[in-house]
Structure 1
C-alpha cells in the first residue's frame, strides 16, 4: 500500500487545491472512535468526519442495515419508483419534530441541498424572496448557501457576486463584543434600511454555530426571533446539519431553547456516514411547492435511508442523548482543569451542551485576544500525539470536539490525554 507521502503527491497532481484536507494522513480503516492510516498508525478521532459520525465509524447496526438493503436494490430514484425506507424514515422523523402539529420530511443528499431547499420551500410557502442569516454561520458551498454563509474566508473568496436578497445579522457572542440587543437592533435597522419584513421569507439560524466557533444562540435571541417571525409572517429555519441527532443531548439542538422552528435542515449524522440530508417542517409549509419542484436524482438514497433508520435505533437503544451529556461533562471537566494550568497555551470559553464542545485559544489568560497561530500549533501537535482534532471560528482560534457518542470511556480518556499533551507542546 502507498505511503501518506506518496498519496499526498498523487493527490496534489490529481485533485484541485480548492478542496482542502486538514492533514496529510490517508485513512485505511476505522472503527468507532479510532482510525488507522495507510502506514498503520492509529489515531483517536475527535473530529467524527465533521459531526457525521455520532454513532461512530462503522456501527454494526448501521453496517448490517446497509448490507441488507444492498441485497434488495441500491437506486430507483424516489421520483420514479418510490420505496418504503424513505417513507418510514420520514414518518419516524416527523414523529420527533421539534414543533407541534403535523410534520412532513423530504430528503436530499448534502447539507447544502437541505439549506437551499429550505429556502425554496420558504419562498413557495410565503410568496416572498428575501432571506436573513447570521455572521459566522455556515450553510454550505453552493451559490445560494455561500450567500447564506456569514464568513468570507475561505468560503466566498473569488466566487462572487453572491445571489441577491440575502442579508446578515451579527451573531451574539459576548467575547466578540456582540449582544442579543445588538443583533435585534441590527434587524430593526435592516427592516428600515434594506428590506421590509413583508418581503422576508425566512430567517435561518444554527442553534449552535458550527464553523462559526461552537457558539450557542442565546435563548433570548431565539425567543425574540420567534416573536418577530410570527408578527411578520416570516418562517424560522433551524439549521441542524451539524447539531442534530443527539450531539447536544437532544435529538435536535433547537429543543434546548424551547422555541419551535417552522423548518429544520438535517444532514451529517443522520445516516451514520452515508450521504443523506433532509428538510423537516410543518406539513402545510412543506406542501407549498408544486409537484416536481423539489427532489433530486440521488435524493433520499435507499441505502442511506436504511442506514438512517438504524441510526435512529442506535440513538434510542444506546441512549445517546444521555451519553452525550455524560461525555460533555467529562470533557469540560478535563478542559477546566487544563485551563487552570500555566504550562499550556491559554484557553478560555469552554462551552457547549451535550458533547458539542468548543473552547478558544487566546494569547494570554484573563483577556480575549484570539491566537490563530497557537491554534494551528495545537492541531498539529495533536496529530503528532495521535489525535485527529479540528479548529474553527470566525477568528480561527476555536477548537471543536466532535468525538463519536459511542466512544468508550477508555478511548475518550486517551484522547483527552493526547489533547492535554498537545496544549502543552503548543506553548513551546
Structure 2
C-alpha cells in the first residue's frame, strides 16, 4: 500500500511534501529564534513549546519550519494528525464547507454533518448496543460532559480516576488528572467528589497480575468511596501523558465487570488512543471491553478541534433537553473534517498501517532495550509506543536522561515528545502517513542520541 507520494513539491503542506529529513540551519534556525522572541512578548509564559521551531508546512511524516528545515514528526501534534497533516480528503471537505457556511450553532439551526459524525461514532465505537453521541470542542470538554452525563443518569456524584491519569486542564479534569507539574500546581481548589484508585503498572507494581491489580483497585474503591456513591469510573485504556502505561491482561475487564454489576458507568477516555492509533479503531478493543461511554478527540478530525462522547442510548439520553451542547460544539468545519478523516482511516487501511508501524517500532526499540540497560521497557500498541528510561543500576526513573535524549533528537531534526508521571518516558506517535524510511531513520537518530550520552554505571 502506498501511503505517501514522495515526489517533491512546493511548501503547501500535505503528503506532496518531500518525505525527507533536511537540516539547512541549526535547530532552531535564525527565523524561528526571531519568532520565538516575538512569541515571548505576545503569548502568556504558561504556554510552552516542546521544540522551538515555527511550522511553515507539514504532511506525510515531516514538519517543515520557517527556516526550511524538514523534521521527522514523531508527535503528530500529540496524536492528532493520524491521517497526516493537510490530508487531501480533509482539505477538500473543509474548503467546500467554508464556502457554504462556517457556523450556525447546532443547537440553534442544525446541519447534516453533525448527525453524520454522530452516526459514524455510533457505528465505530465498541459494542452493538443502541448508542447516541454528542459533540464538543476538546478532550477536556468531552470528559467533563461524560462525567455530567454519568452523574445525571445514576443520580450519584462520586467519580474515580486512576494513578498516572491525564484527563485535561479544566477544573474538573485537573481534579481527575494525577500529575501535579505542570498541570495542577497553583490552580486549585479543584472539583469535589473525585477519588483516585491504583492502576495496573506492570513495570512498577511488584509483578501483580491484571486480576490482582483489579482486586486491589476495587477494594480501594469499595472501602474509600462505596459503589452506592459512585457515578462513574474513568480510565484511559492505555494511559497517555501518564507514560503510555499498558495495564496487565485482565485488569480492564475486571473493572468493567465490577462497574456493570454495581450500577457504575464505565467511561473509557480514548482521547489519545482513539481512531486507529493503536492498531485498532479504539484501544478498548485490544482488551475486550465495551465501555458504557467513550470519550474521543485528537485523531477524530485531522487537526480541526472536535471531540465527542458516545455511549449507551439510555445513558446518553438521560440529561434534559438543553443540558448538553455549547456554542461551538460540532462546528460544521470540524464535522466535515471528521467525516473525511474517518473515510481516510477506513479507505486507506490506516488501522493496518498502524500495526505495520508498531512492528517496526517494537523491532527497533526492542533492540535498543536489549542493548542498553537504561531502557527498562518498550510498551504500547500500534503507532502508540514508548520507552521508559531508568538508572541502569537502581532502576529509578531518569528524567534528566530523558530530557537530554529528546533535546539531542530535536537538534538532529526529529520532533520527539516525552511524558510520564516521573518525566522519564519517550513516546512515539508518528502520523500513520509516515513512510517506513522516515520511521527507521528517526528511530536510528533516537538510538544514536541515547548512545551519545553515555551509560551511567554508578
What range describes the TM-score normalised by the shorter chain of this pair? Answer: over 0.9
Deviations 1:33-88 (A, max 9, x none): 10111111110000000000111111111111111111111111000110001101
Counterpart among 9, 12, 15 of residue 43 in structure 2: 15
Please give the secondary structure, in 1, of the residue aligned with 2:242: coil
State the alpha-carbon separation in 2 of the partners of residues 13 and 324 from structure 1: 40
1:349 and 2:384 are equivalent in the alignment: no
* Unaligned segments of structure 2, at least 5 residues: 1-28
Q: How does 1:171-250 map to 2 (within 5 A)?
A: 171-177=199-205, 179=208, 180=210, 181-182=212-213, 184-192=215-223, 194-250=224-280
State the alpha-carbon separation in 1 of the partners of residues 220 and 426 from structure 2: 33
State the alpha-carbon separation in 2 of the partners of residues 183 and 396 from structure 1: 25
Q: Could you say which residue in structure 1 is the equivalent of 2:350? A: 320
Q: Could you say which residue in structure 1 is the equivalent of 2:431? A: 404
Cα RMSD (Å) of the superposition? 1.6
Asked whether the equivalents of residues 214 and 255 of structure 2 are also in contact (C-alpha less than 8 Å), the reply is: no
Please give the secondary structure, in 2, of the residue aligned with 1:219: coil
1:371 and 2:401 are equivalent in the alignment: no
- Cα deviation for residue 381 of structure 1 reads 0.3
Q: How does 1:38-187 map to 2 (within 5 A)?
A: 38-177=66-205, 179=208, 180=210, 181-182=212-213, 184-187=215-218
State the alpha-carbon separation in 2 of the partners of residues 189 and 288 from structure 1: 29
* Unaligned segments of structure 1, at least 5 residues: none
TM-score between both structures, scaled by the size of structure 2: 0.90
Q: Could you say which residue in structure 2 is the equivalent of 1:392? A: 419
State the alpha-carbon separation in 1 of the partners of residues 382 and 413 from structure 2: 24
State the alpha-carbon separation in 1 of the partners of residues 55 and 309 from structure 2: 31
State the alpha-carbon separation in 1 of the partners of residues 46 and 67 from structure 2: 26
State the alpha-carbon separation in 2 of the partners of residues 263 and 217 from structure 1: 19
- Cα deviation for residue 421 of structure 1 reads 2.0
- Cα deviation for residue 182 of structure 1 reads 4.5
State the alpha-carbon separation in 2 of the partners of residues 283 and 381 from structure 1: 49
Counterpart among 323, 335, 359 of residue 365 in structure 2: 335
Asked whether the equivalents of residues 144 and 162 of structure 1 are also in contact (C-alpha less than 8 Å), the reply is: yes
State the alpha-carbon separation in 2 of the partners of residues 190 and 92 from structure 1: 35
Deviations 1:179-232 (A, max 9, x none): 34345324323422x322111100000000000110113331111111211221
Deviations 1:129-161 (A, max 9, x none): 110000111000000000011111211100112
TM-score between both structures, scaled by the size of structure 1: 0.96
Please give the secondary structure, in 2, of the residue aligned with 1:280: strand
The ranges of structure 1 where at least 4 consecutive aligned residues each deviate by more than 6 angstroms after the TM superposition are none
Asked whether the equivalents of residues 99 and 262 of structure 1 are also in contact (C-alpha less than 8 Å), the reply is: no
State the alpha-carbon separation in 2 of the partners of residues 49 and 282 from structure 1: 30
Q: Could you say which residue in structure 1 is the equivalent of 2:12? A: none
State the alpha-carbon separation in 1 of the partners of residues 348 and 64 from structure 2: 25
Bigger Cα displacement from structure 2, 234-243 vs 178-187: 178-187
